[in-house]
Amino acid sequence: MKLVLKNGIKPKGIVTLPPSKSEAIRAALLLALSGGAPEKAVAGFDAPFCGDIVNALAAACDLSEVYAGESAALMRMLIPVQAALFGRVSILADGALLKRGFGEIEECLGVSLTPAHGTALIDARAPITGDRFTIDCSRTSQFLSGLLIALPLLDRECELIVKNGLVSKPYAEMTLDFVRLFGGAIEETETGYRTFPSAYRAPEVIPVTGDASCAAVFEAMNVLGGEVNVVGKDENTRQPDKDFLKYALLRDADISDCPDIAPLLAAVACSRAGDTVIRGTARLRTKESDREAGMVGLIRDLGGEAEAVRGCVIVHGGKRLGGGECRVQNDHRLAFAAAVMALISDSPVSFEGAECAAKSAASFWEDCKELGIVN
């Protein structure tokens, strides 16, 4: 679908956030493991659910054979959960998602999950043996989150060692909060975690809050002169994207814990005179697109200046953008950034593949229409 965004608009209105997909995926899986109803994870939210949440709710209804769609978080958490429950992994996913790799969990569990050539199905034996596991968390914390959910299901105490650092640490802390809320016994150690056999029980209240990464899009618009009132954001959430406005003030920002806001930071930086350095972008190369290159390409398409240098994106800001056609690489985060950049462009901004936004925000373009950005 081709979309044309109005240029130079100062959006004004009210936006109600959808549920956090990070929190909803974790809650849905734990509800399934506790015998509860997965849909309780998003009870009380009226906004349409994004594709990742829809797939998570469906997967939680039958954990034995699941469709993960395009959700890396869902796929990566399901692998250790299925291995703990069934001793095998059976996950159908978008082919591009599988290309993002799962070597960390293969090494950790000592199994091979490589799908047959040309398929989008992981179907392999994956028994969890032993009681000591080491996981590389230098690229993602999502496999770690899956292990934190899965290991308490085993009949033995386990040691989980984190190596090569821990990116996106707030998401691991989010998982730990949810697991403990559901009765999982985990303690933190100097090298990682220790898990104990646990029986999950669903709590009365499931603390799924509004999606902070979606809120960040409208906050970026406000930085550029918009007046959007965002309803449903919880400042107490573990979602690191809640701090977007703090990051947006920085000339030198490290997005190791909050990779999803990187394109928005780049978009805002275009309006600010001088250079802005966004560090930690090498890990963005294996997102829905090569998001590091995509950020640079998007800015250049619209007449701005940016470059990728040794794992950083440097935005040379200070002039209005020309606008015109751009490429978002079928990546929802780049599409959101394009919507922000239209506000500081001299002509309308257009691109193909606008439907990609539904991966994380099903009603995003309807919200933008209400704000006057889209016809």
Question: Are residues 163 and 92 located together in one domain of the fold?
Answer: yes
pLDDT of residue 94: 84
Give pLDDT tens digits for 237-280.
Answer: 999 999 999 999 999 999 999 999 999 999 999 999 999 999 99
Give pLDDT tens digits for 291-329.
Answer: 999 999 999 999 999 999 999 999 999 988 999 999 999
* CA dist., res. 144 & res. 155, Å (int): 19
**Radius of gyration, alpha carbons of the chain:** 21
Q: Where does residue 232 fall: left (phi above 0), alpha (psi -120 to 50 degrees), or beta otherwise?
A: left
Domain final residue, candidates 149, 172, 196: 196
* CA dist., res. 51 & res. 356, Å (int): 10
Q: Residue 66: give its domain's CATH number.
A: 3.65.10.10
* Cα→Cα distances 279→38, 140, 222, 265, 293, Å: 37, 16, 23, 11, 14
pLDDT of 118 strictly over 70 = no
Tell me how many degrees the CA angle 22-192-108 measures, rounded to the nearest 5.
80
* Cα→Cα distances 372→137, 147, 349, Å: 42, 44, 14
For 107, residues 6+ apart whose C-beta sits below 8 A from its C-beta are 134, 136
Question: Are residues 237 and 277 located together in one domain of the fold?
Answer: yes
Question: Are residues 185 and 238 located together in one domain of the fold?
Answer: no
pLDDT of residue 117: 63
Number of domains in the chain: 2
Domain final residue, candidates 154, 173, 196: 196
Q: Is 375 a member of any domain?
A: no
Question: Are residues 157 and 247 located together in one domain of the fold?
Answer: no
H or E, element range at 317: strand 312-317
pLDDT of residue 302: 97
Q: Is 201 a member of any domain?
A: no
Domain final residue, candidates 196, 226, 251: 196
Task: Give me the domain span that covers residue 289.
Answer: 2-17+210-370
* Mean pLDDT, rounded, for 192-197: 98
Q: Is 203 a member of any domain?
A: no
User: Model's pTM, two decimal places?
Assistant: 0.95
